[in-house]
Amino acid sequence: SRKPIGPVLKLHLQLENDSSDQEIAPLDRTLMLSRRYDNNQVLANNFLRAGKDASITLLHDNPLEGNWNWKGQEADQVNGKVLEPGQSFQTYLPTGTDGVGDLAGPLFWRVHLRKGYSHSGRGVTTIFEVAFDSSQIESEENVD
In a domain, 62, yes or no: yes
In a domain, 1, yes or no: no
Enclosing domain of residue 93: 10-142
In a domain, 84, yes or no: yes
In a domain, 4, yes or no: no
pLDDT digits (tens, 9 = 90+) for 43-88: 899 999 988 777 888 888 765 555 555 555 555 555 678 999 999 9
What's the whole-model pTM score? 0.82
In a domain, 24, yes or no: yes
Choose among 73, 74, 72, 58: nearest CA to 112: 58
In a domain, 104, yes or no: yes
Residue 80 CA neighbour count, 13 Å, CB half = 23
Q: Which amino acid is at 119?
A: H
Q: State CA 69 to chain mean position distance.
A: 13
Q: Provide the domain count of the chain.
A: 1
What is d(CA 99, CA 60) in angstroms, rounded to the nearest whole number?
12
In a domain, 5, yes or no: no
In a domain, 81, yes or no: yes
Are 26 and 113 spatial neighbours (Cβ–Cβ below 8 Å)? yes
pLDDT digits (tens, 9 = 90+) for 72-81: 555 555 567 8
Q: Is the pLDDT score of 118 beyond 60? A: yes
